[in-house]
Amino acid sequence: VDCIQADDDLKSMFVGTVMRKIKSRTWKKHRYFRLQEDCMTIWYKSKKAANAHSTSVREGHQSEVLLSIADEFPPDRCFTLVFRGRRGNLDLVAESAGEAQSWIKGIRKLIDNLENMGQREKLDQWICDWFKKADKNRDGQMNFKEVRDLLKMMNVDMNEHHALRLFTMADKSQSGTLEDDEFVLFYKMLTQREDVLRVFQEYSGNGQKLTLQDLKDFLREEQLHEDGIQQYALKLIERYEPSDTARMLQAMTFDGFLMYLTSPEGSIFNPSMVELYQDMTQPLCHYFISSSHNTYLLEDQIRGHSSVEGYIRALKRGCRCVEVDCWDGPNGEPIVYHGHTFTSKIFFKDVVTVLGNYAFKASQYPVILSIENHCSVEQQKLMAQHLTQILGDKLLKSPLDGKILISLPSPEDLKGKILLKGKKIGGLEDGMNGVVDDPLMGEKSKQHLSKELSDCVVYCKSVHFSGFKHSQIHSKFYEISSFTESKARKHIREAGAEFVLHNVRQLSRVYPSGLRTDSSNFNPQDMWNAGCQIVALNFQTAGVEMDQNDGLFSQNGHCGYILKPAFMRKIDERFDPENPQNDGYKPLSLSIQVISGQQLPKVNMKEGSIIDPLVRVEIHGVPLDQAKQETRYIDNNGFNPVWYDTLQFTIHVPELALVRFVVEDYDKTSKNDFVGQFTLPFTCIQPGYRHIHLLSKDGTSITPSSLFVNVRITNVN
């Protein structure tokens, strides 16, 4: 065992010694004492004599019993072990002064080790206990499968491919199994973090533990915590420190420190912003709304498979605006599919049923059902009937009670409600004034609209957009226009500030160009920069655009609504995304030191291929903020690559910026392979030493893959 190899005193204790155990002047018996392999327990005659956890040692005649025999044995051969609690002392006399010294020094070292919580040894102990638990057949060996199961039990996440490599390295005896000390080695290699140790030792007075004061200094200076730092430090010790002794001393060992840094508290994403934290009582048009395009498609737009599954997936991801393309179907039943293409078809009523079942699983806030209507008036009547019968109270059929009709209600007002977006005969006011006879009789026949379906549309009346001037004078707060991505980009280029103002008053929807038959996506950031709320993406298509969408909506309880920045909610503000220097303009400097990576997944499944990882940091925001920078690549190391590369950015409009971390496998001859990514709003970043838990291409977690970074945000002078 390591602790013994290095130390002569411990070595001789490990071999064992015959000493006299003294109970009284007359009871003096020879007993054989030896130190156990755990470097903690001293045994004699198969009984446990002492455990360094709860012991102190006194030299010489320092107990009643030894004083009583002082004349018989000289003090330099005598010592006493004193136990915590009620247990009596153990008085011993060694055969020689040298032997006594060896035991006294040895025991003190053991106690010191524990007091300092040479947490590493403590950890070994913990690992060995686990090993014994998992070694079912008691043969002291574990094969790879048993090791894998054990790590699962220990709650240690691991990547199979890395674990197997380390298993082979730890199997020094090349037996295909790990004996207990080999397993300790394996576990240490799996969890070893020199990069974190470096930070720990910078703040630790003795390199063994952080006192409460050390931890407070670290939290204040590096993690930039300000208020209630004492409480916070104590909470971290309570929550993440595995050693009871350390917790009692209000201290943190390296293992506790590492656990804190890999926890949600040590994550780059501020945990208080993962929860619902925004004001949800403002008009609907003051929020960005998570929105899906052609929700019924699972693949491309030409031959893709239509399925209610598309709706289930989108709603479960927190999407709050879904789309249906309705066409006349057989036997009078309206169907949903991508018209004039070979995509398969599903019944409208099945989509409505799924909507009823899944709308509020991920979020209580309202869902908008955007209807693209190609049905005859007869089948529209049936659509209205399905909506009313299947959704019941969930369908909003009339304006909310007591709401003055000057602005849209809030997400809070509309909790648990499904809103229909579609064409409507007349306006909201007509219904309110009891005007049933619509003066636009001529327009009705032209619109081919059934009154029943029209009545289901309340706050989202689809209208054609005729220009910002026109809508400023004529349009109503409940009217919503849709723009293709190219039209929206043209408006942003030519009249960005007007577009932002238009979106202060009413909803806008932007959708992908019809040319994107492969279901690819446009950059949603450009549209959010102009305050467009309903930016509809093909949820079924993974890539940077969906990463941005997931990143923006990963805050605020994943509820699908994000409050727009204050300067995009005021009629009297002029914000132009193309030229954002406004009154309260304060650019920030963002510095990211990319320190290391942990257990990055293997991308190329070819035998023996190991990745050459690099990290790219991208800023998505107003055009002035768009930027990307990369670290160098590291040869052949996906397990624990180390960079220590610093990337610098200037952020002009932090409220709109997203930061995306991408790991790629460098390839000099072809396009780099994607390894993992994580995207978050700039405003949700916690500064300091942080871990980033990477996600796969489709936005799902790939634990335990992570990056370790140091983030600094300062004002630009």
Q: Which residues are annotated as a binding site for Ca(2+)?
A: 294, 323, 325, 372, 610, 612, 636, 665-667
Known active-site residue 53: no
- Where is the binding site for substrate, in residues? 21-48, 421, 423, 482, 509
Residue 474 CB burial class (10 angstroms; 0-12, 13-18, ≥19):
exposed
Residue 417 · residue 391 · CB < 8 Å: no
Measured between alpha carbons, how far is 287 from 585 in angstroms, rounded to an integer? 22
Known active-site residue 620: no
Q: What is the DSSP letter of 269?
A: B
Let me know the angle formed at the C-alpha of 713 by 707 and 715, rounded to the nearest 5 degrees: 165
Q: What is the DSSP letter of 304?
A: P
Residue 21 · residue 59 · CB < 8 Å: no
Name which of 38, 33, 54 is nearest 124 in CA terms: 38
Measured between alpha carbons, how far is 619 from 35 in angstroms, rounded to an integer? 59
Residue reference for tokens 């209580």: 364
Residue 585 · residue 575 · CB < 8 Å: no
Residue 634 · residue 612 · CB < 8 Å: yes
Residue 198 · residue 257 · CB < 8 Å: no
Name which of 172, 120, 178 is nearest 148 in CA terms: 178
Q: Which of 61, 162, 286, 293 is catalytic?
A: 293
Task: Give the DSSP H/E element, type plus range, for residue 43.
Answer: strand 41-44
Q: What is the DSSP letter of 297?
A: B
Name which of 562, 563, 581, 582 is nearest 572 in CA terms: 582
- Where is the binding site, in residues? 21-48, 294, 323, 325, 372, 421, 423, 482, 509, 610, 612, 636, 665-667
Name which of 475, 391, 402 is nearest 432 in CA terms: 402
Residue 279 · residue 705 · CB < 8 Å: no
Residue 378 · residue 366 · CB < 8 Å: no
Q: Which of 61, 162, 338, 502 is catalytic?
A: 338
Q: What is the DSSP letter of 686?
A: P
Q: Which amino acid is at 427?
A: G
Measured between alpha carbons, how far is 102 from 100 in angstroms, rounded to an integer? 5
Tell me the C-alpha to C-alpha distance, in Å, between residue 470 and each of 505, 545, 580: 14, 32, 25
User: Would you state the torsion angle of the CA atoms of residues 490, 659, 232, 157, taken in this order, to the nearest 10 degrees?
Assistant: 130
Residue 540 · residue 296 · CB < 8 Å: no
Task: Give the DSSP H/E element, type plus range, for residue 647.
Answer: strand 642-651
Q: How many helices (H) and strands (E) does the chain have?
A: 24, 30
DSSP string, 395-440: B--SPPTT--TTSPPPTTTTTT-EEEEE--SS-HHHHHTT--S-S-
Measured between alpha carbons, how far is 101 from 95 in angstroms, rounded to an integer? 11
Question: What positions carry a catalytic annotation?
Answer: 293, 338
